[in-house]
């Protein structure tokens, strides 16, 4: 996971920002918590161009003292609203296995909005903590209305909006569990608490399709335990020969990743401890998107 801090610069951080005191306090607190828990903090600054007063070398361009970057922390410079306009930033994120971005900073309706949408389009799992982005009054809306409009409406289908307390919990325990008995809360656990499916946890089954009987047994048992279970559609290694037609295997693999996206956690049917390359890829993807991973047979 990366805590992405956008445009917290001296030329933008101003007491006229909506809910200024709360915004500054919460932003600084999350940066501090991330550092204490070895969650990478990445900063992005906006360069408005020569003679703008907020360009490289200007005091207004500098990041505020309360959260100034520490030695070794990444700092990128952008010249457009979206952080993804910086090629180095974009390439750096591509190198990361964990695709979760917790985004905080300024301004809600400009650079935060542009970055949220760019991240969503690229498949990142975006987390927005309550009260950690802000903006100014404008000719059309107050700062308060603007913040609520984007956080509660515009981004509703694009991000995980979490309470400030939940964001602290995620940063303090950022790694989801690989073993069933060592669960640590991340975004998957937060989602489970507010599952749109109601009181039922959603579990996607993963594993080699050679274990068809074990899949069916796990599906039945987990369903009777009160879970919504998503399984594979075809068992290629157990007689469903259509899987091996041109393009079908690739399509099914991609579809299964989308099934993982829909779940709170995945359950790996690892009979005899067997995990093939496709299943390994699914496990890595689940972890990178903050899902809890549990196993039929213990792995540790």
In whole angstroms, what is the distance from residue 295 CA to residue 291 CA? Answer: 13
pLDDT of residue 134: 98
pLDDT digits (tens, 9 = 90+) for 263-289: 889 999 999 999 999 999 999 988 887
Single out the residue of 193, 129, 197, 202 nearest to residue 159, CA to CA: 129
- Tokens for 281, please give them: 């890829």
pLDDT of residue 286: 87
pLDDT digits (tens, 9 = 90+) for 161-191: 999 999 999 999 876 432 333 333 445 555 5
**Between vectors from CA 64 to CA 63 and to CA 67, what angle results, nearest 5°?**
90
pLDDT of residue 264: 85
CA torsion, ordered 74, 78, 82, 83, to nearest 10 deg? -10
CA torsion, ordered 13, 18, 19, 20, to nearest 10 deg? 10
Question: Assign residue 136 a region: left if phi > 0, alpha if psi is -120 to 50, beta otherwise?
Answer: beta
pLDDT of residue 263: 87
Low-confidence ranges of the chain (pLDDT < 70): 175-199, 300
In whole angstroms, what is the distance from residue 132 CA to residue 139 CA? Answer: 23
Adjacency order of strands within the sheet including 265-269: 227-230, 201-207, 265-269, 292-295
State the pairing for strand pair 160-162/100-106: unpaired
Contacts with 86 (C-beta within 8 Å, 6 or more apart), sequence order:
44, 76, 77, 78
Residue count (the chain): 300
- The domain limits of the chain are 2-172, 180-295
pLDDT of residue 290: 77
CA 173, 34, 290, 146 torsion-angle sign: positive
CATH pick for 180-295 out of 3.30.465.10, 3.10.20.520, 3.90.1150.10, 3.40.50.450: 3.40.50.450
pLDDT of residue 175: 67
Tell the CATH topology of 2-172. Answer: Rossmann fold (3.40.50)
Other C-beta atoms within 10 Å of 24: how many? Answer: 19
Backbone angles phi, psi at 77, to 5 degrees: -115, 135
């Amino acid at each position: 996971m990366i805590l992405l801090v956008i445009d917290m610069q001296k030329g933008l951080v101003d007491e006229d920002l909506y809910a200024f005191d709360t915004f500054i306090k919460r932003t600084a607190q999350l940066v501090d918590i991330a550092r204490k828990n070895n969650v990478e903090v990445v900063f992005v600054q906006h360069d408005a161009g020569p003679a703008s007063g907020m360009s490289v070398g200007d005091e207004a361009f500098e990041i505020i003292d309360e959260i100034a970057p520490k030695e070794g922390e990444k700092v990128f410079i952008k010249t457009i609203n979206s952080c993804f306009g910086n090629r180095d930033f974009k390439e750096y994120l591509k190198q990361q296995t964990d695709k979760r971005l917790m985004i905080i900073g300024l301004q809600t309706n400009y650079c935060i909005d542009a970055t949220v949408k760019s991240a969503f389009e690229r498949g990142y799992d975006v987390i927005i903590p309550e009260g950690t982005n802000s903006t100014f009054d404008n000719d059309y809306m107050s700062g308060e209305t603007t913040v609520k409009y984007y956080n509660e409406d515009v981004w509703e289908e694009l991000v995980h909006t979490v309470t400030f307390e939940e964001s602290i919990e995620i940063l303090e325990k950022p790694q989801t569990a690989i073993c069933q008995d060592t669960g640590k809360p991340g975004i998957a656990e937060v989602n489970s608490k507010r599952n749109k499916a109601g009181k039922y946890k959603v579990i996607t089954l993963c594993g080699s399709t050679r274990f068809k009987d074990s899949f069916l047994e796990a599906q039945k048992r987990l369903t009777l335990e009160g879970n919504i279970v998503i399984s594979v559609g075809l068992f290629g290694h157990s007689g469903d020969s259509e899987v091996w037609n041109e393009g079908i295997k690739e399509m099914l693999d991609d579809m299964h990743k989308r099934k993982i996206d829909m779940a709170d956690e995945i359950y790996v049917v690892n009979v005899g401890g067997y995990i093939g390359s496709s299943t390994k890829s699914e496990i890595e993807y689940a972890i990178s998107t903050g899902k809890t991973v549990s196993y039929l047979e213990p792995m540790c």
